[in-house]
Amino acid sequence: MQSTSQRIERIHRTMQREGVDAILVTRRTDVHYLTGYESVSESLPVGSVIVEGQLPYLIMPELQREAMGQDSTMAKLRSFADAPSEHWYPNHGPGFWDCIDDILREAGVHRGMIGLQHDCLSIREFESLKSAFPDAGFKDFSRALWRLRQIKDAAEIDAIRQAVKIAEIGVRTALETVKAGKTEAQCSVDIEAAMRGAGGELRGIRAAVLAGGHARFPFAQPTTARVSNSELVLVDVTVSHSGYLAEVARTVHAGSPSTVQRKLFGSVLATNDALQSVMAPETKISEAATQALKIAGNGSPVRGVIQPLGSSIGLDIREPPYIYQESKSTFREGMVFSVHPTIYEPEAGCAKIADVLMITGEGCESLTTISKETL
């Protein structure tokens, strides 16, 4: 996916507002956001330097630059010899930082204010930077960059829409294949194969069929346990397209749900619907979360809710802001959220419904189209 010129203009305006002359980007997904380059591996040492008024620099090992071939990117490519170093593992190595040094000096900003991502920088790396640039100032730019990423542009929204379509193929496959007697793992393999066949990328793909109580654990993995006809079964799917992720989850039953299981499912469905009804631009997230839970519980607390109720989604599956009652953030037009209320009660099991919602000028739009009524 190409980074747009508008995206670069936004980062330059933010740099001016923050009083920063250059930023060093070391988080892989932020490199993707600013340069359009989708890293082929979590362990590939890539980075970017942004200097006001210039195209981004994209930094990668020499061999990876050769492997890129004619792949297009809106960035100036710089490469380095990626020599192994036990002392720097698993950080960016000396060659990477030598390349950073060259770029900052060439751009004449090595004595300026340099923005960093403190949450993606080791103490060793930070100390090395301070030693290399004794006349420079340093400032954490992480929150400013996250805030930029919260508003999705047209290309990002299109990629998320495509990811949602692929995720829904996975869920529809689950509705056909999840049967009593099959293992969670068997069902999950079938779903993942369907999504891969529909164009789902390997990065971020997850097809989790989870029966019983362990479905309540975040990012639980399918096991060899067999689906029974007495348990709620969670189908939890994530998949990416052009690097952008979608999450869709539905709760099913391989037999006839009990009264308490139907009540639990109804609470999750009501919470999901209530959130969609209150999410709108300029609404405080804390107020929306509180109001949604009040609506879902008919004025009474909803028991067993697992927080948060949702989060922003994009190049990362969980991005700030999160939807919970203590949030300090506000919904803004162009934000995209995974809304995933989850409720667990020991006597009933676990139920979850996850949809992808986009904040619009009038309220919010569900990018997910598959029915929530799955019991």
Do 39 and 114 lie in a common domain? yes
Do 50 and 187 lie in a common domain? no
Do 76 and 172 lie in a common domain? no
Q: What is the CA radius of gyration of the chain?
A: 23
For 336, counting Cβ atoms within 10 Å of its Cβ (0-12 exposed, 13-18 middle, 19+ buried), the class is buried
Neighbouring residues of 203: CB distance < 8 A, sequence distance ≥ 6:
240, 243
In a domain, 374, yes or no: no
DSSP strand pairing (364-366 vs 244-253): unpaired
Do 262 and 240 lie in a common domain? yes
pLDDT at residue 2, as a whole number: 45
Do 130 and 60 lie in a common domain? yes
CATH code where residue 55 lies: 3.40.350.10
pLDDT at residue 1, as a whole number: 44
In a domain, 51, yes or no: yes
CA distance 207 to 225: 16
Local structure of 19: helix, strand or coil: coil
pLDDT at residue 154, as a whole number: 94
pLDDT at residue 245, as a whole number: 98
Do 135 and 173 lie in a common domain? no
Do 247 and 335 lie in a common domain? yes
Do 67 and 82 lie in a common domain? yes
Which of 150, 179, 203 finishes a domain? 150
CATH code where residue 268 lies: 3.90.230.10
- DSSP per-residue letters across 241-273: ETTEEEEEEEEEESS---HHHHHHHHHHHHHHH
- DSSP per-residue letters across 88-134: TTTS--HHHHHHHHHHHHHTT-TTSEEEE-GGG--HHHHHHHHHH-T
**Under-70 pLDDT residues of the chain:** 1-4, 69-72, 83-91
Which of 123, 150, 177 finishes a domain? 150
DSSP strand pairing (355-359 vs 364-366): antiparallel
Q: Return the amino acid letter for 362.
A: E
In a domain, 240, yes or no: yes
pLDDT at residue 241, as a whole number: 96
Neighbouring residues of 127: CB distance < 8 A, sequence distance ≥ 6:
none
The domain of 69 spans 5-150
Which of 150, 181, 210 finishes a domain? 150
* Percentages (nearest 5) of helix, strand, coil residues in the chain: 35, 25, 40
**Closest CA relative to residue 212, chosen from 96, 346, 342:** 346
CA distance 121 to 145: 15
Q: Return the amino acid letter for 240.
A: S
Contact (Cβ atoms closer than 8 angstroms) between residue 319 and residue 246: no
End-to-end CA distance of the chain: give it in Å, rounded.
38
Do 82 and 178 lie in a common domain? no
Do 26 and 72 lie in a common domain? yes
When divided into structural domains, the chain yields a total of 2
Do 146 and 171 lie in a common domain? no
Local structure of 305: helix, strand or coil: strand
User: Which element (helix H / strand E) includes 359?
Assistant: strand 355-359
Do 144 and 162 lie in a common domain? no
pLDDT tens for residues 125-181?
Answer: 999 999 999 999 999 999 999 999 999 999 999 999 999 999 999 999 999 999 999
**Closest CA relative to residue 234, chosen from 66, 70, 359, 350:** 350
pTM value is 0.93
In a domain, 158, yes or no: yes
Contact (Cβ atoms closer than 8 angstroms) between residue 250 and residue 353: yes
In a domain, 372, yes or no: no
pLDDT at residue 94, as a whole number: 85
User: Which element (helix H / strand E) includes 358?
Assistant: strand 355-359
